[in-house]
């Protein structure tokens, strides 16, 4: 039971890192960035490249993957979203162009690494066990939980307590007011994409480390989950996304214990369904009337 | 003495002199607000904006604010979910001490600093919008319908603030439906009708012009 709870918090932490970035872009730009799972995958491959090709230690690969995917996020915005934004295109166009980026990037990664599961070179990824009472736990997961929680605290400070965060929130609430106030909107959007994609990429590295496995499509299962988490938490609410992520992690692990394994994905849909019926605006979402 | 000149949109051309209050009056839909939006770079415009010898045509809104042209927009555009203090900090250019100055000028904002700005009354929101714009240290303050939708008592209070700013030598370009108050305040005024300037003169002269009185002052 304790081990199940431990795993639930671990997977919830990965979902949370992934989903806060997804929710951040949604709250600022009102678009669903369907390339976010690709950024997740790229984070893992950036770490693999740093470790296997450049011969760097894992603890350097983590910040490298963060910065590399953050920069990729800025590039993604310039290529897939900024041109549409200038033309005032509807959010649906942005979804399609981010999907196109996803397909292209997945192919490029497969050209270099193939489409199968791969592992990190032997002995390059940290792995150790800890014993708590009668339970044996994977130590890396504890480190990942700790790092995720620390990062979410840093993100909270950044968004709530800094000038950049204030500008990002202003842009999310009222783009016209943000422009009138002299906020450099494109710079704030670039920062949003750097943070969002950096955290998404980091989630990818951490999951790849924990399982010692990565592949070009590893981000896809996260897409539906991030969407579920965002709806459950309240569209665009960052604390909502974090709470939703841990709820989903707990629910999935519970469903594995009590239900056949095939129903794991059905659980995410089921949770989404229930929340939409009971509380359409999500746990921490504002009622539509409040948003206007 | 600085000299600030502004020309904008739709084939109309006018100048706002440094240290003076310039008013644009006219009926709804005359193009007053679009003119201010074009000066601030909020809408694409083919016109020409020159300010303190610099050509600002086609600049991004944030570059225009940095150049010293700051707008108090119609409808106030305060950030309703953010606190009063955060709204002020968003406008701030330079030292944080200036926020204390804003609280001294607008004590009601000091009282409500931690409150979400959406909870303020219309008049208080207008004070917030003006205070926020002043913190950006404007060398030209654009005011778009500052009295719109306010109770008569608040309208008087807002114009008192504007008169105060005028005494301090703040350069202002005022767009206002309340032509009587606008003309009383303005050093120079332009009458806009269907996107064209039909008349111009000192505020005093237009105030006593018969045609203006008939059309805009309800005389």
Across the 219 residues of chain B, what is the mean pLDDT of every consecutive 10-residue run?
45 84 84 87 82 89 95 95 96 91 95 96 95 95 94 94 95 92 94 84 88 76
d(CA B83, CA B78): 10
By CB atoms closer than 10 A (0-12, 13-18, 19+), residue A116 is exposed
The predicted pLDDT at position B3 comes to 39
Query: Token digits for A284?
Result: 């921490």
Confidence of residue A3 (pLDDT cuts 50, 70, 90): confident
pLDDT at res. A292: 33
pLDDT at residue B219, as a whole number: 52
**How much is the pLDDT for B2?**
35
Which CB contacts under 8 angstroms, 24+ apart, belong to A263-266?
A265/A221, A265/A224
pLDDT at B11: 67
CA quadruple B80, B82, B88, B91: dihedral positive or negative? negative
Query: Which residue, among B51, B215, B45, B73, has the nearest Cα to B144 in the 3D structure?
Result: B73
Mutate to test the interface with B, among A174, A177, A284 (most CBs of B within 10 A): A177
* Mean pLDDT of all residues in A277-289: 74
pLDDT band at A284 (very low <50, low <70, confident <90, very high): confident
Residue A290 has pLDDT above 50, yes or no: no
Q: Which of A42, A23, A41 is nearest to A33 (CA)?
A: A23
Which residue of B71, B74, B77, B87 is the best one to mutate when testing the A interface, meaning the one whose CB has the most A CBs within 10 A?
A: B77
Helix, strand or coil for residue B113? coil
Partner residue opposite A181 with nearest CB, options B60, B81, B91:
B91
Cβ of B81 within 8 Å of Cβ of A177? The answer is no
> From CA A157, how far away is CA A151, in angstroms rounded?
10
Domain borders along chain B are 21-216
Render pLDDT for A138-166 as a digit per residue (tens, 0 to 9): 889 999 999 999 999 999 999 999 999 99
DSSP classification of residue B42: S
Residues of A (170-209) whose Cβ lies below 8 Å from B: 170, 173-174, 176-177, 179-186
Q: Tens digit of pLDDT for each residue in A83-108?
A: 999 888 888 899 999 999 999 999 99
Rounded Cα distance between A223 and B77, Å, is: 35
Looking at residues A214-232, what average pLDDT do you find?
A: 90
Strand extents, DSSP E, B56-160: 69-72, 140-144
- What's the mean per-residue pLDDT of chain A? 91
The reply to whether A85 touches chain B by the CB within 8 Å rule is no
Given CATH 1.10.10.60, say whether it is the number of domain B21-216: no
pLDDT digits (tens, 9 = 90+) for A237-259: 899 999 999 999 988 888 888 88
Q: What angle do CA B144, B150, B154 make, to 5 degrees?
A: 105
Please tell me the predicted confidence (pLDDT) of residue A288: 47
pLDDT over threshold 90, residue A23: yes
A175-196 pLDDT per residue, tens: 999 999 999 999 999 999 999 9
- Residue A137, Ramachandran bin (φ over 0: left; ψ between -120 and 50: alpha; else beta): beta
Nearest residue to B175 via CA among B186, B163, B161: B186
Per the document, the length of chain B is 219
Side-chain-side CA neighbours of residue A121 (13 Å): 13
Q: What pLDDT is recorded for position A291?
A: 41
**Which one of B80, B81, B90 has the shortest CB-CB distance to A181?**
B90
CB contact (8 A) between residue A173 and residue B73 = no
Residue of A nearest to B88 (CA): A181
Supply the pLDDT for residue B194: 76
The predicted structure's pLDDT at residue A234: 87
Nearest residue of B to residue A167, measured between CA atoms: B90
Reduced to 3 states, what is the DSSP secondary structure of residue B199?
strand
CB < 8 Å to A166, chain B = 82, 86, 89-90
In terms of Cα–Cα distance, which of A236, A202, A234 is closest to A219? A202
* Terminal-to-terminal C-alpha distance of chain A: 45
**3-state class of B196 per DSSP?**
strand
Q: What pLDDT, on the 0 to 100 scale, is given for residue A110?
A: 96
pLDDT at A268 over 80: no
Q: What is the mean pLDDT of residues A44-70?
A: 96
Q: Residue A51 in contact with residue A58, Cβ under 8 Å? A: yes
| Cα within 13 Å of Cα(B78), Cβ side | 29
- In this model, does residue A269 exceed pLDDT 90? no
């Amino acid at each position: 039971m304790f081990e199940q709870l431990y795993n639930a918090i671990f997977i919830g932490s990965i979902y949370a890192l992934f989903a806060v970035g997804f929710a951040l872009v949604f709250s600022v730009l009102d678009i669903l960035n369907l390339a976010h799972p690709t950024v997740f995958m790229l984070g893992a491959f950036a770490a693999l490249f740093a470790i296997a090709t450049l011969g760097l230690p894992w603890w350097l690969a983590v910040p490298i993957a963060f910065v590399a995917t953050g920069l990729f996020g800025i590039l993604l915005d310039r290529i897939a979203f900024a041109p549409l934004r200038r033309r005032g295109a509807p959010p649906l166009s942005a979804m399609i162009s981010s999907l196109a980026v996803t397909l292209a990037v997945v192919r490029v990664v497969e050209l270099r690494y193939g489409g199968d599961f791969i592992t990190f070179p032997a002995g390059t990824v940290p792995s150790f066990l800890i014993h708590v009472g009668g339970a044996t736990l994977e130590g890396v997961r504890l480190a990942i939980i700790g790092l995720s929680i620390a990062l979410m605290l840093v993100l909270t400070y950044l968004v709530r307590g800094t000038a950049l965060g204030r500008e990002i929130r202003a842009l999310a609430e009222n783009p016209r007011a943000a422009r009138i106030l002299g906020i450099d909107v494109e710079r704030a959007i670039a920062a949003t994409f750097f943070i969002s994609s950096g955290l998404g990429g980091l989630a990818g590295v951490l999951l790849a480390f924990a399982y010692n496995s990565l592949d070009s499509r590893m981000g896809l299962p996260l897409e539906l989950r991030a969407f579920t988490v965002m709806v459950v938490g309240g569209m665009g609410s960052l604390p909502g996304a974090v709470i939703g992520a841990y709820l989903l992690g707990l629910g999935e692990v519970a469903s594995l214990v009590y239900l056949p394994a095939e129903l794991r994905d059905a659980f995410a849909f089921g949770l989404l369904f229930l929340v939409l019926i009971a509380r359409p605006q999500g746990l921490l979402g504002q009622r539509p009337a409040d948003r206007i | 003495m600085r000299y600030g000149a502004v020309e904008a949109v739709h084939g109309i051309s006018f100048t706002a002199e440094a240290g003076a209050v310039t008013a644009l009056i006219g009926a709804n839909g005359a193009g007053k607000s679009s003119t201010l939006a074009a000066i601030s770079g909020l809408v694409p415009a083919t016109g020409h904006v020159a300010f303190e010898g610099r050509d600002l045509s086609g600049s991004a809104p944030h570059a225009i604010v940095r150049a010293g042209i700051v707008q108090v927009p119609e409808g106030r555009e305060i950030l309703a979910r953010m606190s009063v203090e955060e709204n002020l900090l968003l406008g701030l250019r330079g030292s944080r001490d200036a926020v204390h100055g804003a609280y001294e000028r607008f004590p009601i904002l000091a009282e409500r600093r931690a409150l979400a700005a959406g909870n303020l009354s219309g008049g208080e929101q207008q004070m917030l919008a003006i205070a926020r714009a002043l913190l950006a240290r404007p060398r030209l303050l654009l005011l778009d319908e500052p009295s719109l939708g306010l109770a008569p008592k608040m309208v008087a209070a807002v114009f008192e603030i504007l008169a105060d700013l005028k005494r301090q030598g703040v350069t202002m370009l005022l767009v206002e439906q309340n032509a009587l108050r606008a003309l009383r305040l303005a050093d120079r005024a332009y009458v806009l009708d269907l996107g064209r300037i039909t008349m111009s003169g000192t505020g005093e002269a237009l105030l006593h012009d018969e045609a203006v009185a008939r059309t805009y002052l309800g005389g």
